[in-house]
Structure 1
């Protein structure tokens, strides 16, 4: 699986048939075989498409169920492997708290899902993990935001849509803080 190809498709709004084809190659065995950050990247791609483009592009409607299935499988695998990991807590806490409806098959209720995401962010922020603090929006100190950008560079390749997305979120928080 070429995750960089998947990233290019999403970033450049390329051929959605290729995107669907790539989604169809991702299965539970593949998800179990990849590393933590690649698992996070796939989770992000499926979450992002469902959240941002799924309702906007009729071409993607046919792959939304597959994307949701992959997101849930990736989340379950990440939970088994990394449930006490700060990266896991802030990353999935953010995804769940922003769009809880994508995790209803796990939590069965919108509010339960939203609260689970917020709780994950709270646990990560109590551990003083800078990115959790940023995305929980409790502390907006400039040095924390800058450290968050550096942490993102270490987690995700700077050329990926995942990295770009979270940098945009940090910049949005920075600009809101200046108002």
Structure 2
């Protein structure tokens, strides 16, 4: 599974048919053997397609079910392996709390899903995880923001869509807090 290729396809919006083919080639066994951050990256891209498909390309509508299936499988595998990990708690907490409707097969109810996501972020925040603190409390303390950005670099390669997305979200939080 070439995750660099996946990132290029999303970032450059080159060939959506190739991207759809890539999604269709991912199976649960593939997800079980990849590393933690690669699992998070695939989860993000599946989530991102679900959240942004209309803006990205109408062609992606035909792979929404597949993207949701990958997202749920990745989440289940990550939960089994990493449920006490701060990055796991923040990352999936964020994905779930922002778009709970994509996790209804796990939580069965929109509010349960949303609250579960928020609770995951709260737990990671109580563990003093900078990214959870930033996204939970909307802080503007320079050391926490710097630490959060460094954590992003450790989790996701720079110049990837997932990294750029969360940097943009942090910058939005910074600008909102300065008002």
With the length of structure 1 as denominator, give the TM-score of the two structures.
Answer: 0.97
SS in structure 2 at match of 1:20: helix
SS in structure 2 at match of 1:96: helix
| CA positional deviation for 1:27 | 0.4
Aligned to 2:92: 92
What are the Cα deviations for residues 47-100 of structure 1, in whole angstroms up to 9, with x where unaligned? Answer: 001001247632111100000000000000000000011010000000000000
| CA positional deviation for 1:108 | 0.4
| CA positional deviation for 1:140 | 2.6
CA distance in 1, matches of 2:124, 2:43: 19
| CA positional deviation for 1:11 | 0.7
Say whether the 8 Å CA contact 1:47–1:95 is kept in structure 2. yes
Does residue 14 of structure 1 match 2:14? yes
Tell me the matched-pair count: 179
- Of the structure 1 ranges 49-58 and 61-70, higher mean CA displacement relative to structure 2 is found in 49-58
Say whether the 8 Å CA contact 1:93–1:119 is kept in structure 2. yes
SS in structure 2 at match of 1:112: helix
Q: Kindly report which structure 2 residues correspond to 1:3-152, keeping only aligned pairs within 5 A, or say none.
A: 3-54=3-54, 57-152=57-152
Say whether the 8 Å CA contact 1:86–1:129 is kept in structure 2. yes
Say whether the 8 Å CA contact 2:13–2:56 is kept in structure 1. no
Question: Which segments of 5 or more consecutive residues in structure 2 lack a partner in the other structure?
Answer: none
After TM superposition, which residue ranges in structure 1, 4 or more long, deviate above 4 angstroms? none
CA distance in 2, matches of 1:94, 1:125: 12
CA distance in 1, matches of 2:18, 2:56: 18
CA distance in 1, matches of 2:126, 2:101: 26
